[in-house]
Amino acid sequence: MAEINLFLIFLGSIFFDLLIGDPRFFIHPVQIIGLYIEKISNFFTNNFRENKKILFWGGFIVAISTIGISFSLGKLIELSYLQLRNNFISGLLILFGLSSCIATKGLISSVKEIAKLIESKEINDQNERIIKEKVQMIVSRDVSSSSVEHLLRSSTESLTENSVDGIFGPLFWIFIGIVLIKFSIFLPGPLSLGFSYKAISTLDSMIGYKYDYFRYLGFFSAKIEDIFTFIPSRLVLITLPLVGSKLSEYISIIKKSYFDGKKYDSPNSGISEAIFAHISGIRLGGKSKYKNEIIEKPIINKNGDSCTGKKIELICELILRLQFLWIIIFVLIFFINSSLIQ
């Protein structure tokens, strides 16, 4: 019974995120995780910036401690809920906690807002500054000198890549926790795995870079994120065409997306960007500025159209469709698994 209640809380957290997003009265776990990562990372960079070996192992300490603390907090709340027989307060904490791990509303709303600002308003100096500030909040590249076309591409690339990190990755690992906890309450559960994945994703976004001292400090964080996002990104690759309009080209699109995505250094971000690019018919990749360095990413779907507000709307719709498909699959797997165990 407790496992069914946990699964219902999981479903409730998904719909809570879709309807409400991140409530302002609730301190977001990412803020706490980010503050911890910032403080401990600053200690290593301020004191050992020139020592590659210390930075390397310091990065290991940052990664393991952040994930360990996040996992332990989630596990503590899970055990409180299960051992106190579906305690209401613990149940609410799990609901809010799981919802905070999923970023559907926040991600889609922020990118849609940028697209509308670009396409519905006259681009003068003031509007351009506001748009660039909003884009800079969701990307790691420097967009201070970007054109309107590049701002749209940057927003689209962030949307497609972060759909896995912020939506489908957490959904996958939370569901794995739902399955595992059915066998023992002491196994990793939905909140402990959800918090852990959120910590991994935050680590990668904050220190998982390949330039300057980050290549040493963020090495473990980047590799761990690669491992834990590997399966979710492949699942998006094979399921997204099922909710698109090109189902008859299913195998062809998957092949094209896979080979385009493999051109990227990251084993996951290229694939997630590529499948959305091929389904929506857009071209991604090209030159972007990071710090003072110009990096040219491989072109994805070279015959596709340029990014537009309408294309962003389409991608947002695809994300929502795919999320509902995953929910249906989760429900089927959960109840089939329950009947088999009984």
Please write the tens of the pLDDT for every residue from 254-270. Answer: 999 999 999 988 889 99
pLDDT greater than 80 at residue 300: yes
Give me the mean pLDDT over the 153-171 stretch.
95
Output the pLDDT for position 123. Answer: 67
pLDDT digits (tens, 9 = 90+) for 48-101: 988 999 999 999 999 999 999 999 999 999 999 998 877 889 999 999 999 999
Output the pLDDT for position 25. Answer: 61
Helix (H, G, I), strand (E, B) or coil at 99: helix
pLDDT greater than 80 at residue 207: yes
Residue type at position 178:
I
Output the pLDDT for position 128. Answer: 82
Q: How many other C-beta atoms lie within 10 A of the C-beta of residue 223?
A: 13
Q: Which of 205, 216, 211 is nearest to 66 (CA)?
A: 205
- 99/90 Cα distance (integer angstroms): 14
Tell me the pTM.
0.93
Q: Please give the angle made by the CA atoms of 19, 22 and 27, to the nearest 5 degrees.
A: 150
Q: Find the range with the poorest average confidence among 3-7, 117-121, 225-229, 265-269.
A: 117-121
Output the pLDDT for position 164. Answer: 96
pLDDT greater than 90 at residue 339: no
Q: How many other C-beta atoms lie within 10 A of the C-beta of residue 114?
A: 26
Q: Please give the angle made by the CA atoms of 236, 237 and 238, to the nearest 5 degrees.
A: 95
- 55/53 Cα distance (integer angstroms): 5
